[in-house]
Amino acid sequence: MSLSRRKLTFQLTPLLDLLLIVIFAQYMEVRQTADTQAVEVQRELDRMNTEADLARLQLQARLEVAVQERDQLLTDKNRLQSVLDRRETELDEELQQSRKEIQELGEILSRLFRLPRATIEKVLAARTEAERAELRLEIEELAGSRAADMVKHLRTWRELLKRCDVWDLHIGDDNASTLTAAGKSFHFRADTPERFEAEIFARYKALPQPKSLVVLLVSWSDAQFGVRQAATTGVVRAIERMHDDSNRRTRFEYAILGYSPPLQ
* Predicted confidence pLDDT, tens digits, the chain (264 residues): 455 555 555 566 666 777 778 888 888 888 888 778 888 888 888 888 888 888 888 888 888 888 888 889 888 888 888 888 888 888 778 767 756 655 555 555 445 555 555 655 655 555 566 766 666 666 666 655 555 566 666 667 677 778 889 999 999 999 999 999 988 999 999 999 999 999 999 999 999 989 999 999 999 988 999 999 999 999 999 999 999 999 989 999 999 988 887 654
CA distances from 85 to 18, 94, 157 (A): 98, 14, 30
Provide the pLDDT for residue 108: 54
Provide the pLDDT for residue 146: 54
- Strand bridging mode 176-181 / 184-189: antiparallel
Q: Which helix (H) or strand (E) is 252 found in, with range?
A: strand 251-259
Q: Phi first, then psi: what are they for 178, rounded to 5°?
A: -130, 120
CB distance 179 to 169 below 8 Å? yes
DSSP assignment string, 132-199: HHHHHHHHHHHHHS-HHHHHHHHHHHHHHHHHSEEEEEEE-TTSEEEEEETTEEEEEE--SHHHHHHH
**Alpha-carbon torsion 151, 154, 157, 159, what sign?**
negative
DSSP designation for 224: -
CB distance 212 to 249 below 8 Å? yes
Closest CA to 256 of 126, 120, 61: 126
Q: Which helix (H) or strand (E) is 205 found in, with range?
A: helix 193-206
Sequence-separated (6 or more) residues with CB below 8 Å from residue 219: 168, 169, 170, 171, 256, 257, 258, 259, 260
Distance of CA 146 to the CA centre of its chain: 37
CA distances from 185 to 164, 172, 173, 174 (A): 18, 14, 17, 17
**Is 0.85 surpassed by the pTM of this model?**
no
CB distance 230 to 196 below 8 Å? yes
DSSP designation for 126: T
Distance of CA 263 to the CA centre of its chain: 41
